[in-house]
């Protein structure tokens, strides 16, 4: 029995069952691939040992913990939003959520006034040129937290910061760095500053991988040495000394998750496939293997207007002009447009049409 005869005798319902099996099998294989990717270290937030809560902080009776989490990421505009929560202990206040004394919606009670200075932005995307903002926390009040924007900078712009080989132009493998910096002192400043510690409480944001590393406040990341100002003023570059003097600094890197990068390359592959189809059809028409037809022109026109929505479906919808456009997208658009022009020229010159 030949293949064509078997195809004719195969009931339609079995063809439908075969389609179901093929789709379910493809979905199963795809999910196995995704599970394998995520099981090999694809986590949303990665913290090294420097982020651990040390014993000397646990034993500090008079301290202020600043819990932070990245709440929004906009790599195109190059900034993130960070939420902060203030947790005072000992002489600075207490957090009481159980005995009913706290008013509705409150977080922590402040016993002594203090000031929190945080870095809200960076001039020229350089963390050394930060713009600082201050929060004056008054005594005898219940406080919660606040949100603040932080400007991202390409990791390759500052030497010694994570991966220096990638930057914001290498979409979708782009990476960005940021600094979360807290400086706290008592009011009046003549009193000893509180012990400060920054702690991440975020589980991350879908589509991104966030890597966190704690560095000394006065440490020059680019030169890999303690800042000269700190040396001249007898400050040491250690995380422990920072905590006791009211400083805390966490450096972070944001990169796209592997699943997000795979989707980007999949969409790009669809755009390239569209260009290949246009060129293949045009070659067939030019060589005479297929006659020029109005249906072919409609197909090429549909391809031309279909690739732009695909381009817009990329994660974060990057603006036109990224390196990926120069190396692939522009070429595919020009190829489809050229094929459409060639097919139109051949179609209007057909001599088998009589008016």
CA distances from 149 to 77, 173, 202 (A): 12, 23, 16
- Dist CA 348 CA 293 (whole Å): 10
- Containing 304, the helix (H) or strand (E) segment is helix 294-312
- Which parts of the chain sit beneath pLDDT 50? 355
Burial (Cβ within 10 Å: 0-12, 13-18, ≥19) of residue 178: buried
pLDDT of residue 108: 86
- Dist CA 63 CA 75 (whole Å): 34
135 touches 118 (CB < 8 A): yes
For residue 56, the tally of other CB atoms under 10 A from its CB is 13
**HSE, side-chain direction, 13 A CA sphere, residue 237:** 16
pLDDT digits (tens, 9 = 90+) for 147-194: 988 888 877 766 656 666 666 677 888 888 888 989 999 988 888 899
**Nearest to 218, CA basis, from 198, 175, 247, 192:** 247
Place of tokens 């755009």: 271
Cα 340-345-349 angle, rounded to 5 deg: 145
| Local structure of residue 90 (DSSP, 8 states) | G
160: left (phi over 0), alpha (psi -120 to 50) or beta: left
Question: pTM value?
Answer: 0.79
119: left (phi over 0), alpha (psi -120 to 50) or beta: beta
**Nearest to 127, CA basis, from 256, 53, 227, 211:** 227
pLDDT of residue 24: 87
- Dist CA 26 CA 28 (whole Å): 5
Place of tokens 């986590």: 43
């Amino acid at each position: 029995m030949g293949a064509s005869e078997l195809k004719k005798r195969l009931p339609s319902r079995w063809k439908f069952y075969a389609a179901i099996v093929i789709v379910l099998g493809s979905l199963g294989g795809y999910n196995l691939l995704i599970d394998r990717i995520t099981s090999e270290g694809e986590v949303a937030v990665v913290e090294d040992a420097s982020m651990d809560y040390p014993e000397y902080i646990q034993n500090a009776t008079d301290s202020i913990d600043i819990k932070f989490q990245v709440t929004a990421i906009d790599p195109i505009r190059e900034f993130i939003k960070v939420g902060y929560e203030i947790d005072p202990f000992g002489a600075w206040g207490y957090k009481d959520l159980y005995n009913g004394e706290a008013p509705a919606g409150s977080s922590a009670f402040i016993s002594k006034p203090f000031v929190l200075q945080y870095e809200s932005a960076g001039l020229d995307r350089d963390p050394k040129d930060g713009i600082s903002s201050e929060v004056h926390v008054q005594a005898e009040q219940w406080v919660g937290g606040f949100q603040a924007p932080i400007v991202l900078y390409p990791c390759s712009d500052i030497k010694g910061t994570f991966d220096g080989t990638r930057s914001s132009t290498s979409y979708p493998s782009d990476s960005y760095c940021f600094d979360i910096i807290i400086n706290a002192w008592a009011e009046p400043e003549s009193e000893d500053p509180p012990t400060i510690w920054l702690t991440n409480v975020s589980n991350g944001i879908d589509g991104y991988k966030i890597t966190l590393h704690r560095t000394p406040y006065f440490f020059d990341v680019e030169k890999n040495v303690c800042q000269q100002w700190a040396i001249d003023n007898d400050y040491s570059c250690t995380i422990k000394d920072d905590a006791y003097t009211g400083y805390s600094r966490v450096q972070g890197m944001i990169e796209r998750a592997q699943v997000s990068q795979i989707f980007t390359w999949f969409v790009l592959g669809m755009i390239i496939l569209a260009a290949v189809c246009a060129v293949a059809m045009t070659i067939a028409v030019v060589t005479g293997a297929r006659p020029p037809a109005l249906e072919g022109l409609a197909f090429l026109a549909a391809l031309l207007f279909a690739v732009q929505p695909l381009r817009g479906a990329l994660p974060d919808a990057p603006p036109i002009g990224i390196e990926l456009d120069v190396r692939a997208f522009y070429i595919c658009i020009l190829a489809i447009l050229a094929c459409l022009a060639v097919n139109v020229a051949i179609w209007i010159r057909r001599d088998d049409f009589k008016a």
